Amino acid sequence: MPDMDNAVDIIIIGAGPAGLTAALRLQQLGYRVQMLERSATWPRPQIGEALTPGVKNIIDMLDANEALAAVPHLAGLSTRLRWRSTTPEIAGHGDAAVINRAAFDAALLQLARQRGISVCMPARIEDISGTAGDWQLHISTPAGRQQITARFILDAGGRSNGAQQYACAPRLSAMWVELEADQVFNNIAHNIANEMANLTQVEALEHGWLWGTRLPDLRYRVMLVSDPQTAHQKMPGQAENWLRWNCANSELFKTIAQVPYASRLQACTATPYLALDSWQDGRLKLGDAAFALDPISSSGVEKAMRFSLQAVVAIHTLLGSTDSNRYECHDRYELARHFFEQRLTETCARHQYWTQSYYAQAWCSEHPFWQSRAGIATNCADGAVAGDDHPLVRAMHEQSAQLRDYQPAELKPLSTFNPCQPLRIHPAASLAESYCVVDDRVQKQLALSHPNLERPISFLENQALFPNLNFLWQPQPLAHVLLKLEQSMGRQTSQKITAWLWQRGVLESLA
């Protein structure tokens, strides 16, 4: 705990994956960080045990592999899906992992402490006053009341019902329960039990979907995600019956429909949203505080951690320079804000696009639950703002539309490349300014756009494309192209970049 007059650079509220990722990264960059966590029980239970493979490289970046090695987990799981058709299929061959989330968060928190990050827990925030650059927080802890001052506040307090939330899809709620694994597997044939123990299962049903997996502690978790209104209409006040009824009417979970529950039934809202107030001067939201994803992707933890890394880049752009020139400061502010908001809306847009396509593929997609989720997003969550005209919502919709319009071009085989023909940048390509990360700070960089590219690119093989490629607006013999590029990036890299752009039609050969 810092002393009364011991100010820190950044206060982080919440010790979930978002807050901890930000804390560890900011500390690596040399900032003094103070974490506040309100939970009196620690490790505290938390939903979100299935981790997508992308978490691995974030853990590498945080140098946290060793700290997480002892976290109970099941690795190499595949998924049995009854989704695209009524015949189950195996997907994601062994790339999923299920962890004990409480232990995962606790191990990261312990690592933060070991690295010298100050953690105050349990802490209750009583009030926040001040302005960007000079915040004062009064907190109460079992040791008494404390004041902390900070230049920046990061709110990583998780999912909430904030008034400034834009619902990115129709309402969803989740309910889940745990069963004793032996009760789940005892009543079924040995081979099926064996399979079920090593697979995550997901099944689309008329009114929602079911997800089930063995947990590292040998329990089995089953979760139903459905529209809360339908649940209320069909079985008002009978959550347990609703879950059992859906299991009984499923293919993959019917054997467990009547198994006694080994935990109390829990439920929460699961509507995806975007918090429109995620950027305030000197005060940012991270993870579920900034956006929540549909649990169907099982990627909330990865996206929360990744967005924290991006937010740290924005913060480092703002705080990591000693230059106090007014215009420089203003430029840095604009760069940081634009980058933060662009990454936020891009995360939501990509997820919305993926989710809608995924819901559209369900075998039962003609039913209302699926129709409404496969279509254009509607803003219908309780307490959501009618935010369609908000710049962040407009940006998210524009990015979604671009993703819908994008048709990936087939890669041209290199065997058809004719080295005797001159090369030039395809006339449909154009240059625009884009926001890139260089040395952990945001920079404006020229980026190449082309209909065959999913997004504008500034770098390939760690090399800035421009001004290096400028001479290629005019046709050039291949030997000249390679010779010129080699001067700045070496032969192998020049060849790789030339081939990459040509295969996608961004460089064209002229007959």
Ligand X SMILES: Cc1cc2nc3c(=O)[nH]c(=O)nc-3n(C[C@H](O)[C@H](O)[C@H](O)COP(=O)(O)OP(=O)(O)OC[C@H]3O[C@@H](n4cnc5c(N)ncnc54)[C@H](O)[C@@H]3O)c2cc1C
- Give the footprint of ligand X on this chain (CB under 6 A): 13-19, 36-39, 44, 46-51, 125, 156-159, 174, 268, 270, 287-288, 295, 298-302, 304
Minimum CB distance to ligand X, residue 242 (Å): 15
Q: Which is nearer to ligand X, 174 or 259 (CB)?
A: 174
Q: How far apart, in whole angstroms, are the C-alpha atoms of residue 101 and residue 96? A: 14
Closest distance of CB 146 from ligand X, Å: 14
Q: Measured from the CB atom, is 33 or 304 closer to ligand X?
A: 304
Residues 6+ apart with CB under 8 A from 323: 329
Using alpha carbons only, what angle is made at residue 304 by residues 139 and 320, rounded to the nearest 5 degrees?
70
Closer CB to ligand X, 293 or 429, in the complex: 293
Backbone angles phi, psi at 289, to 5 degrees: -70, -30
As measured in angstroms, the least distance from the Cβ of 45 to ligand X is: 10
CB of 271 to ligand X, least distance (A): 9
Burial zone of 257 (CB within 10 Å; 0-12 exposed, 13-18 middle, 19+ buried): middle
We find the least distance from the C-beta atom of residue 42 to ligand X, in angstroms, to be 9
**Letter string b/e over residues 5-32, b meaning 16 or more CB atoms within 10 A of that residue's CB:** eebbbbbbbbbbbbbbbbbbbbbeeebb
| 139 or 464: CB nearest ligand X | 139
Judged by beta carbon, residue 232 or residue 444, the one nearer ligand X is: 232
Q: Which is nearer to ligand X, 185 or 211 (CB)?
A: 211
Strands (E), 375-505: 423-425, 430-438, 441-449, 459-460, 463-464
407 beta partners:
none
Residues in Cβ contact with 83 at an 8 Å cutoff, skipping those fewer than 6 apart: 89, 202, 203, 204, 209, 361, 362, 363
Beta carbon nearer to ligand X, 210 or 457: 210
Nearer to ligand X, 12 or 259 (CB): 12
Min CB(322)–ligand X separation in Å: 31
Cβ pair 423, 196 in contact under 8 A: no
Question: How many C-beta atoms surround the C-beta of residue 127 within 10 A?
Answer: 8
Q: Which is nearer to ligand X, 1 or 188 (CB)?
A: 1
Q: Which is nearer to ligand X, 13 or 436 (CB)?
A: 13
| CA 48 vs CA 101, 145, 381, 456: distances in Å | 7, 33, 22, 33
For residue 46, the minimal CB distance to ligand X (Å) is: 5
Least spacing, CB of residue 303 vs ligand X, in Å: 7
DSSP state of 487: H
Say how many CA atoms lie within 13 Å of 457 toward its Cβ: 19
**CB 37, min distance to ligand X, A:** 5
Query: Which residues, other chains included, contact 128 with Cβ-Cβ below 8 Å and sequence gap of 6+?
Result: 135, 136, 137, 138, 153
Q: Identify which of 439, 158, 218 has the alpha carbon closest to the alpha carbon of residue 316.
A: 439
Checking phi first, is residue 440 left (phi over 0); if not, alpha (psi -120 to 50) or beta? left
Q: What is the three-state SS of 38-81?
A: CCCCCCCCCCCCEECCCHHHHHHHCCCHHHHCCCCEEEEEEEEE
* Separation of CA 440 from chain center: 19
Classify 212 as helix, strand or coil: strand
Which C-beta is closer to ligand X: that of 158 or that of 282?
158
The minimum distance between CB 377 and ligand X, in angstroms, equals 18
Residue whose CB is less far from ligand X, 96 or 252 = 96
At its nearest, how many Å lie between ligand X and the CB of residue 160? 8
Beta strand 118-120 pairing with 33-36: parallel
Looking at the Cβ atoms of 334 and 382, the one nearer to ligand X is: 382
Q: How far is the CB of 141 from ligand X (least distance, A)?
A: 11
Q: Whose CA is closest to 157, among 110, 134, 123, 107?
A: 123
In the complex, minimum distance from the CB of residue 183 to ligand X, in angstroms, rounded to a whole number: 22
3-state secondary structure 279-328: EECCEEECHHHCEECCHHHCCHHHHHHHHHHHHHHHHHHHHCCCCCCHHH
